[in-house]
Every structure is written in C-alpha cells, then in structure tokens.
Amino acid sequence: MSFTSDIKNEVSKLNHERIESIAELSVILRNNAKITDTIKITTENASVARYVFSAIKEMYDISCKITVRHGYNYMKNYIYILEVSKKVDNIIKELSLDTNIPRSYILDDDVSKRAYLRGLFIACGSINDPKKSRYHLEFFVDDEDYAYFISDLLNEYYLNSKVLKRDNKYMIYIKEAEKIGDFLRMMNAINALFYFEDIRIYRDHKNMTNRLNNCEQANVDKIIETANNQVKDINIILDEGGMELLSEKEQVAATYRLKYPEASLVELSEIISLETESKITKSGLYHRFNKIKDLANKIRNKNAAKNNK
C-alpha cells in the first residue's frame, strides 16, 4: 500500500462533526462524483468509500448503492462506485455542488477550511513516500479558477503552494518538506506525520553529514594543494641559489615545509613553535610563505624571459 493510501485510510477514519462532514463531502463529490439525476462517486480506496457511505447515510438518512469492480487494465486494486439516487437536489444544494467555487458557508470558519482541504486530499491528493523520492505533495483538479482557489486556500496556512497546468488538468503542488509536514499536521494525520518527520530528520541528518564530509574533503584538498605549491616555490629557489636567497625567518619556514610537506599551516606553525621555542602564528607563517612565493615568481619570470630570447 502506498504512503498516500495510508494517509487517506487514516484521515477517513477520523471522527467528524457535521460541519466538517459538509465541507469534506462537498469537495470529495466536487472532484470525484459524476452528477446527473443521480450522484456517482468513484474511489479506489475502501476506507474512503466507507467514509462517504457512512457520512451520506448519517447526514441524509439514505443508503448508497455500492458497486465493486476490478481496476482498469486488470489491476489488482478494486474500484468502488457509490450511487445516490435519492435527495439528489437536496445534496447538490447543501454541498454547493452546482457551483464551480463552493459558496462561502462551506468554508465558514477555520474548522471548515481544514476539513475542506482534508477532503481535497482524500479526493485528488497524493504525497510521495519520503523514503523513496523527493518531497512532493500535489492535487489534480479540472478547472483553472478552481485550482487557484485551492492554492489561495492552502496559502492561507502559509504552505507556499503553486499551480501548474498539466495536459487538460491543473496541478496544485507543494515541494517544501516542512510545509508538507504542516499540511499533514493540519489534516490531523498524526501517524503519517510521525513517519514523514522521522524520515525527514534522518534525510536531513544524512545530507548534513555528507555536506560536512564534502566540506572536510575540500579543506583537505586545499591544504594539500597549498602545501604542494609552497614546496614547488621552495625548490625553484633552491635550484636558483639555495636557502641563502631567503631571510633567516623564511629559511626556517622553508626548511620545515620541506620536512612536513603535508602539514596544514596551523599544524606547521605549532611544530615550528614547539621545536624552535620561538612562537609563530598561522598568520605569521602565511606571511613568510607569501615572501617565498614572491621570490619564486621573480625567478620564474626571469627564467621565462631568458628562454624567450
């Protein structure tokens, strides 16, 4: 069973007040029902089918006719079709199914709005399993105005949703892990939220560890490159005329660099300070190697000029 199915199973089993059921049924039927002289609701989720059946029975005192079929292309999943043939006009009017955008009383307060968004997820939402792929929450609807209405409703809760046209439908999506967690919390999908947050924390920790390892490796590579360049500078000076070309302090730095070619400047300054009993900082050592580099570059330029003659 998919992560999305698990969430729908969980939220469809929650206890609901009538005001919540009105909002949820409104959006579920808006997106999953075909309305003529009857109302036919189609879903692949047994828990959702049970919830819709129970809600309609409780609110309107009628029973839906239920048909169960195999999924398309001989899929193992079943498709549940609920058909309402009584009180159709009453249901359409009360649930605002005769309008593209629901009337204001459907979303009269915060409880109704949260219930509406919960019903929207039941009807046409999905969330990627955080173990298997990137964080992604989406809803597919059939109308542009309705898509932007949903996006605006989501963004009342600061979820940063966006709308994208896909073929002849519209996708409202959220990609930020933190916002998807907020949506699960808003739906009261507690079990799904715990699972999602556990995976998110693990992935964030793993990514942070990888970044730290990459950063550490980059620092090591930089230290080695710097040390190798300093050794090259010293060797050029030695080939030209020996250590006598350097000042006494620069000779000490050059001697210890050749002795410890892989040490960082911090490590090398500590070694020199300990063995010579003369304190030198990383900054002071860096300054000496800059002097050595300047001299090495002068020698390189002089040799290049000779070769060009």
The answer to the question of residue 254 being in a domain is yes
The answer to the question of residue 48 being in a domain is yes
Domain match, 25 and 133 both:
yes
pLDDT of 195 > 80? The answer is yes
4-38 confidence digits (pLDDT tens): 999 999 998 888 888 899 999 999 999 999 998 99
203-231 confidence digits (pLDDT tens): 777 777 777 777 777 777 788 888 889 88
Order of all β-strands in the sheet with 125-127: 125-127, 137-141, 169-174, 162-166
pLDDT of 59 > 80? The answer is yes
88-130 confidence digits (pLDDT tens): 999 999 999 999 999 999 998 999 999 999 999 999 999 998 8
The answer to the question of residue 40 being in a domain is yes
Query: What is the pLDDT confidence band of residue 72, given thresholds at 50, 70 and 90?
Result: low
Domain count, the chain: 2
Domain match, 291 and 169 both:
no
Domain match, 48 and 183 both:
yes
Residue 134, phi then psi, degrees to nearest 5: -70, 160
Burial 142-156 (b: 16+ CB within 10 A, else e): eeeebbbbbbebbee
Verdict on whether the full-model pTM lies above 0.85: no
52 closest CA partner among 93, 11, 107, 87: 11
Strands, E, within the chain: which ranges?
33-35, 39-43, 65-70, 78-84, 125-127, 137-141, 162-166, 169-174
pLDDT score of 121: 95
Q: Which domain, by its residues, includes 292?
A: 210-308
pLDDT score of 115: 94
Domain match, 150 and 252 both:
no
Q: Give me the residue label for tokens 């250590």.
A: 243
Query: What is the pLDDT confidence band of residue 158, given thresholds at 50, 70 and 90?
Result: very high
Domain match, 77 and 126 both:
yes
pLDDT score of 212: 73
